[in-house]
Amino acid sequence: MHILNLKNVPILEQLCIEEALLRADTHNWCLINTGAPPAIVMGISGKPHSLLNVEKVRSDGIPVIKRFSGGGTVYIDPNTVFVTLICNASDVSVLTQPKPILEWSEKLYSPLFKGFEARENDYVFGEKKFGGNAQYIQKGRFLHHTSFLWDYEAANMDYLLLPERRPQYREDRAHTDFLCTLKANFPQKEELVNALCTHLMATFDAKIAATDLVKEIQARPHRKVSTLVDL
């Protein structure tokens, strides 16, 4: 597995890198990104006027990105830690189906987050969510990306509406009653990243990726779907 550790990379740029690593390469990857500037990220089928306080998003100049995968809508900022796993299913012995991939990720992360579970499409401690997931599956290969809440500001949740489709366990709880953070577990974001890299090194035959390799992969022809949304 190749580990790509990014800092301060905007989420649209990160998603473009992910698409290249998924579609134009055959290696296994773990992409980590910390410090991304504020933005809102929607799944490929998301409808802004159903999911966002569009007037507030516009007035505050928050960019809205539509990613190439499905899943829900999230507000992200420098306190979000992104971890994306891109794997050949045969290399990690998992079926290319959403539930087996989520269960595989739960087992992978269990040494890092004691007492957590994967519930519906989320990572939770009890009834509160600290990580949201989305997937993209193609023949023999899959991508599983997670937005970990290391910390967040409650006021920023006002950019998001309560979605019509939401996890059953959430019920009608507001974002601030539904979310928790990893800051108590990892007082510094770097501690979370270091723990993850150490765990990956021990679990896989992992190595840090060369920047030139990533640039070469990005230059290969491949389909590009992630885009900035015009509100």
What angle is formed at CA 184 by the lines to CA 179 and CA 185, rounded to 5 degrees? 100
Per-residue pLDDT, 166: 84
pLDDT of residue 167: 84
Q: What is the pLDDT of residue 165?
A: 79
Q: Which of 141, 144, 95 is CA-nearest to residue 118?
A: 144
Residue 173 has what pLDDT? 86
Distance CA 135, CA 78 (A): 22
pTM equals 0.96
Q: Which domains does the chain have, with CATH numbers?
A: 2-225 (3.30.930.10)
pLDDT of residue 172: 86
pLDDT of residue 162: 86
Compute φ and ψ for 15, nearest 5 degrees: -65, -35
Cα–Cα distances in angstroms (integers) from residue 49 to residues 66, 98, 164, in the given order: 13, 27, 12
pLDDT recorded at residue 179: 94
Angle separating helix axes 11-23 and 211-218, nearest 10 degrees? 80
153 C-beta neighbours (distance < 10 Å), count = 9
Which pLDDT does position 163 carry in this prediction?
81
pLDDT at 145: 96
Decide: helix, strand or coil at residue 207.
strand
Encoding tokens for residue 77? 């900022």
Q: Provide the token pair at 153.
A: 């500001």
Q: Give me the pLDDT at residue 143, please.
A: 98
Q: Which residues of the chain have pLDDT under 50?
A: none
Q: Note the pLDDT of residue 150.
A: 97
Q: What pLDDT sits at residue 149?
A: 97
What is the residue-averaged pLDDT of the chain? Answer: 95
